[in-house]
């Protein structure tokens, strides 16, 4: 899968230059040293998922860099690698970026950021969509990160409550809620607690479905068959990477589902409400631009989401025998049919 932007490359021969994919990495070519005597900065883009799940993040990031004046193959190289939902692979990629002496590492989510932090205390790291940068010890403070790491947090108030409010509108008579959560992820468990509290205010009974690996998904659905009216899927690396399996199980169990990411809905889930991940990726490009122009990560404040989106899947609703209320469709940013 190739990603790139339209370039003004001058000669017909250079217009024929294209992106290559080597060993799972997306690499934009660099012009010959005779034509480019100064070092072209390299950005290592460490995505937690796959090209399928995180390709849109990379495309948004590259597009914004282009708007800021960074031209692929002339003034910057982006080396994109995919952790494929595996922490050990994220650690290997981060170590490889350090060996390559990239100028900046961009990470998506908390696990890949922790892997990059473990690999280097010198190379600037910009995270996209970290769950809780303070609790996970990524930064000293949001205003002044204090080290080589800064970026954009996923933290925002009352997202769990908003998701449950929307789910209640779509699912008449909702009484029992299952929460699917990665028990190995402290940030995910924290969110599960917030969901539990929000469910309590709505008078909902809560059933926890804890998973630790992909193999657990089918097992927890089978173990709790018929015990819930709807499903809340906590958004993290494990659930996002296995979104198709989760959507399939939810549909088989006839459980209307709500998610954090639009990618889950595009894979077959019922609805999602959360921060726009491509928007966060675009904003990460501004961080990289500042760093490459001399700014220190320690002094660039961590920012929170500013753009949220509601995505609903009417095809999934029909399969579940539900009708999405007009009040929900009216505020949806996108309707998947």
For residue 155, the model assigns a pLDDT of 78
In the structure encoding, which two tokens stand for residue 227, read together? 């015990």
User: Which of 2-11, 46-55, 74-83 has the least mean pLDDT?
Assistant: 2-11
Do 46 and 105 contact (CB within 8 A), yes or no? yes
For residue 22, the model assigns a pLDDT of 37
Report H helices in the chain. 12-15, 51-67, 87-100, 110-119, 159-170, 186-201, 216-223, 237-241, 243-252, 262-266, 277-292, 314-319, 326-331
- Please write the tens of the pLDDT for every residue from 207-237: 999 999 999 999 999 999 999 999 999 988 7
Same fold, 12-155+277-306 and 159-275+309-336: yes
Statement: 159-275+309-336 belongs to CATH 3.90.1150.150: no
Residue 33, SS3 per DSSP? coil
Q: What share of the chain has pLDDT > 90, as a percent? A: 72
- Please write the tens of the pLDDT for every residue from 295-310: 999 999 999 998 899 9
Given a cut of 80, is residue 156 above it in pLDDT? Answer: no
> Any idea where the domains of the chain sit in the sequence?
12-155+277-306, 159-275+309-336
Which distant-in-sequence residues (6+ apart) come within 8 Å of 83 by Cβ?
46, 47, 48, 49, 89, 90, 93, 111, 112, 115, 237
Radius of gyration of the chain (CA): 21
The DSSP result for 99-114, as a single string, is HHT-SEEEEESHHHHH
Do 233 and 261 contact (CB within 8 A), yes or no? no
Picking from 93, 5, 7, the residue whose alpha carbon sits closest to that of residue 46 is 93
Do 68 and 43 contact (CB within 8 A), yes or no? no
For residue 190, the model assigns a pLDDT of 86
pTM, two decimal places: 0.80
- Please write the tens of the pLDDT for every residue from 323-334: 999 999 999 999
For residue 33, the model assigns a pLDDT of 36
Statement: 12-155+277-306 belongs to CATH 3.40.50.2300: yes
Residue 123 is classified by DSSP as: S
């Amino acid at each position: 899968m190739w990603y790139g932007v339209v370039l003004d490359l001058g000669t017909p021969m250079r217009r024929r230059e294209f992106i290559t994919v080597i060993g799972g990495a997306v690499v934009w070519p660099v012009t010959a040293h005779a034509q480019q005597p100064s070092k072209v900065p390299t950005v290592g883009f460490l995505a937690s998922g796959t090209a399928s799940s995180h390709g849109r993040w990379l495309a948004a990031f590259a597009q914004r860099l282009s708007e800021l004046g960074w031209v692929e193959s002339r003034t910057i190289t982006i080396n994109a690698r995919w952790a494929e939902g595996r922490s050990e692979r994220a650690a290997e990629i981060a170590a490889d970026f350090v060996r390559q002496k990239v100028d900046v590492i961009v990470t998506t989510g908390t696990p890949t950021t922790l892997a990059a932090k473990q690999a280097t205390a010198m190379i600037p790291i910009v995270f996209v969509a970290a769950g809780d940068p303070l609790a996970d010890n990524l930064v000293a403070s949001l205003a002044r990160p204090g080290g080589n790491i800064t970026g954009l947090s996923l933290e925002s108030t009352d997202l769990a409550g908003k998701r449950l409010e929307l789910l209640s509108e779509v699912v008449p008579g909702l009484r029992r809620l299952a929460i699917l959560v990665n028990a190995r992820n402290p940030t995910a468990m924290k969110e599960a607690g917030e969901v539990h509290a929000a469910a309590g205010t709505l008078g909902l009974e809560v059933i926890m479905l804890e998973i630790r690996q992909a193999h657990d998904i089918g097992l927890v659905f089978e173990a709790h068959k018929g015990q819930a009216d709807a499903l809340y899927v906590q958004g993290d690396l494990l659930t996002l990477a296995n979104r198709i399996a989760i959507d399939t199980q939810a549909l088989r169990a006839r459980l209307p589902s709500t998610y954090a990411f639009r990618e889950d809905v595009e894979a077959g889930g019922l609805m999602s409400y959360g921060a726009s991940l491509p928007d966060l990726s675009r904003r990460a490009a501004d961080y990289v631009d500042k760093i490459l122009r001399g700014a220190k990560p320690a002094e660039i404040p961590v920012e929170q989401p500013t753009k949220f989106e509601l995505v609903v899947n009417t095809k999934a609703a029909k399969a579940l025998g539900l009708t999405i209320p007009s009040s929900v469709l009216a505020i949806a940013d996108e309707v998947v049919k």
